[in-house]
Amino acid sequence: MAATVRLLPAVTLALLSRFPAAVSLRRDVLELGDSDFEYLSAEHETMLVKFYAPWCGHCKKLAPEFDKAAIRLRGTVQLAKVDCTAHSETCARFGVSGYPTLKIFRYGRDSAPYDGPRTADGIHHYMMKQTGPDSVHLKTGEDVETFTNSYDASIVGVFSGTDSSRLAEFMKAAGLLREQFRFAHTTDLKLGEEYGVSSESVLLFRPPRLSSMFEDSVVIFRDYLTIGSLRRFIRDHLYGLCPHMTLENRDRLRVRDLLTAYYDLDYHHNPRGSSYWRNRVMKVASKYSGRGLTFSVANKKDFLSELEDDFGLGTSDGGELPFVTIRTKLGHKFTMREEFTRDGQSLQRFLDNYFAGRLKRYVKSEPIPERNNGAVKVVVAESFDDIVNNPDKDVLIQFYSPSCPHCKKLEPVYRELADTMVSDLNLVIAKMNAVDNDVPLGYDVQGYPTIYFAPVGKKDEPIRYEGSQELKDFLKFLKREASRSVAFSGSKDEL
- Residue positions annotated with a catalytic role: 56, 59, 404, 407
Distances (CA, A) of 441 to 62, 329, 445, 462, 463: 27, 10, 10, 11, 13
- 117 cis-preceded (ω within 30 degrees of 0): no
State which H helix or E strand residue 433 sits in.
Answer: strand 427-433
Please, what is the angle between helix 57-72 and helix 120-128, to 10°? 50
> Residue 221 corresponds to which amino acid?
F
Coil, strand or helix at 224? coil
Q: What are phi and psi of 4, to 5 degrees?
A: -65, -45
Do the Cβ atoms of 219 and 235 come closer than 8 Å? no
| Contact (Cβ atoms closer than 8 angstroms) between residue 78 and residue 49 | no
Are 81 and 96 spatial neighbours (Cβ–Cβ below 8 Å)? no
User: How far, in Å, are 113, 327, 450 from residue 331 at the CA level?
Assistant: 28, 6, 19
- In a 3-state reduction of DSSP, which class is residue 24? helix
3-state SS, residue 414: helix
- Distance separating alpha carbons of residues 185 and 192, to the nearest angstrom: 11
CA–CA distance, 382 with 361 (Å, rounded to integer): 11
Do 90 and 81 form a contact (C-beta atoms < 8 A)? no
Of how many residues is the chain composed?
A: 495
Which ranges in 189-245 belong to alpha helices (H)? 227-237
Beta strands in 226-306 (DSSP E): 244-245, 258-263, 294-299
Collapsing DSSP to helix, strand or coil, 282 comes out as helix
CA proximity to 42, closest of 66, 74, 78: 78
**What is the DSSP secondary-structure string of 307-371?**
HHHHH---TTTTTTS-EEEEE-TTS-EEE--SPPPTTSHHHHHHHHHHHTT-PPPP---PPPPS-
